Amino acid sequence: MKKIAVVGPIPRDTIKTHQNEVIKKYGCISHPCIALAKLMENDGEVYPISHIHKIDKEAVESLFANYSAINTVGISSEKDSGTVIFLDFIDQNNRREKQTAFMSPILPQDVEAFLGVDAFVFVPISDFEVPLETLKFIKAHSKAKIIFDAHGPTTCVTTKGDRLRRFWIEIEQWLPYIDILKMNLEESQCCWFKTEYALDEMKSYDDSQREHLDDFAQFVLNHKTSHLYITLDAQGCEHFTLSKDKTVKKNFIKSVKMKDVIDTTGCGDSFAGGLAYGFSYYNDALKAGQYANVLGAFRTQGKTFDVFKNKKNTDNYLNRYYNK
C-alpha cells in the first residue's frame, strides 16, 4: 500500500472565473489530495500536511471526510494561521491575485511523523510556506521521493496583499534536495536569469520565450534534481532528464484536450499530484507525466472536486488518449 504526503496550504479561495462566475472553495492541496484519494482508494493513503485557521477546521475536515484514503492527522489549526486568497481571472490562464492571510511555514517537526511515505509532493503557493530546511530534513531522514512545485518560490506577497512574481535567485541551493521539479513556463523564466539587466530588459512574462529551456534544464539536472517538468498550458508539458551519457533527454507529453474549460484553478496542483502518483506506483517518468496531464485536464471540467475520477475510469481515459 503506497503512501503520499501532500504539503502546502489549504486556502480559502474566492475565484472570479474568466466567464465571470464567482466560486468559493478550499484550494491548493485540496485538489491533489482528492484526486489522489480517488486514484488510491483501497490501495493507498494520502496525508495532507498543512496549517489552517481555527474557523476553517470543521469545514476542511468535512471536505475530506468522504474520501477513505485521506488521513487528516497532518492538518493543524493550533497556530490559527491559514491562507486566504482572492483570484480574478483576466482570461483562461491569467489572473490578478490578492492574499490576506498567511499560513505558518511547514517545518521539519510538521513532516517528521510522515517520513515513511513513498513520496512528498510540495505545492507551496508563496515563497515563505516551505523553507529549505524542511527538504533537507526529509532528505537526511527519509527515502521518500520529493516532488516540488516551483510556484511557491517564484511568488511573493507584498504588504498590500498583491501576489507577484519573483526571481528564484536561490534555486541552486534547493536543487540537490528536490528529486522531481515541476513548474510552468512563466515560472521557468523566473528561474533562469542574467547576472545583470538593463532597465529596459526587465519585462513581464512572455509566452513565446522558450529558448532558455534546454540550458535551464541542463543546469537543473546537473545539480542533482533527477527530473524537470515544464507545463505549457494547453499544449502539454516538456520532460527533461539526464541520459546515461549525461546529456539531456527531452520528451514532449501532449496535453489532454478538453472541449470546454470551466475553471483552471488548481490545474498545476493537480498536475503535481499526478506526478506523485506515477512515480510512486510505476516509477515511470513518462507515465507520471501522462497522469499529471490527465489530472490537470480533469480539474478544468467543473467547479467542484467531482471532476476527478476513480482509478479505473482515470486509466481508461489515459489509455484511450495516450495508448491508441
Please list, residue by residue across 44-61, b when 16 or more beta carbons sit within 10 angstroms of its beta carbon and e when fewer do. Answer: bbbbbbbbbbeebbeebe
Please give the mean pLDDT across all residues of the chain.
95
**Which set of grid coordinates corresponds to residue 84?**
486566504
Non-local CB neighbours of 305 within 8 Å, separated by 6+ positions: 30, 31, 34
Determine contact, residues 163/98, Cβ cutoff 8 Å.
yes
User: Hey, what's the cell of 247?
Assistant: 546529456
Q: What is the pLDDT of residue 201?
A: 87
CA distance 165 to 118: 31
Angle between helices 285-299 and 267-282 in degrees, nearest 10: 150
Q: Which residue has the higher pLDDT, 95 or 40?
A: 40
Residue 38 has pLDDT above 80, yes or no: yes
Report which secondary-structure segment, H or E, holds 46.
strand 44-51
- Listed by start position, the domains of the chain span 2-322
Which range has the worst mean pLDDT, 40-44, 188-192, 234-238?
Answer: 234-238
Residue 232, pLDDT score: 93
Q: Which of 48, 43, 30, 37 is nearest to 85 (CA)?
A: 30
CA-wise closest residue to 268 among 152, 114, 111:
152
Half-sphere exposure of 214 toward its Cβ, with a 13 Å CA cutoff? 6
Q: Higher confidence at residue 92 or residue 85?
A: 85
Q: What is the pLDDT of residue 95?
A: 85
8 A C-beta contact, residue 242 and residue 255? no
Mean pLDDT computed over 8-26: 91
* pLDDT of residue 84 exceeding 80: yes
SS3 253: strand
Q: pLDDT value at position 42?
A: 94
Whether 118 has a pLDDT exceeding 90, the answer reads: yes
Res 29: pLDDT: 98
How does strand 227-231 pair with strand 236-242?
antiparallel
* Model confidence pLDDT, tens digit, residues 242-280: 999 989 999 999 999 888 888 888 999 999 999 999 999
Annotation: CATH topology of 2-322? UDP-N-acetylmuramoyl-L-alanine:D-glutamate ligase (3.40.1190)
DSSP state of 21: -
| Predicted confidence band of residue 205 (pLDDT cuts 50, 70, 90) | confident
Q: 45-77, pLDDT tens digit by residue?
A: 999 999 999 999 999 999 999 999 999 999 999
Q: What is the pLDDT of residues 125-164, one digit of tens each?
A: 999 999 999 999 999 999 999 999 999 999 999 999 999 9
Q: What are the phi and psi torsion angles at 29 (to 5°)?
A: -70, -10
pLDDT tens, residue by residue, 284-317: 999 999 999 999 999 999 989 999 999 999 999 9
Asked if 48 and 6 count as a contact pair (C-beta separation under 8 A), the reply is yes
- Return the pLDDT at 324: 72
Other C-beta atoms lying within 10 Å of the C-beta of residue 76: 17
Per-residue pLDDT at 92 exceeds 80: no
Instruction: Reply yes or no on whether the pLDDT at 90 is more than 90.
Output: no
pTM of this structure? 0.95
pLDDT confidence of residue 259: 81
The DSSP line for 85-111 is EEEEESSSS-EEEEEEE-PPP--HHHH
**DSSP-derived secondary structure for 223-251:** TT--EEEEE-GGGEEEEEEE-TTSPEEEE
Strand, coil or helix: what is 294? helix
pLDDT of res. 206: 79
Q: By three-state DSSP, how is residue 290 classified?
A: helix
Helix/strand/coil for 221 = helix
Q: What is the pLDDT of residue 50?
A: 99
pLDDT value of residue 7 = 99
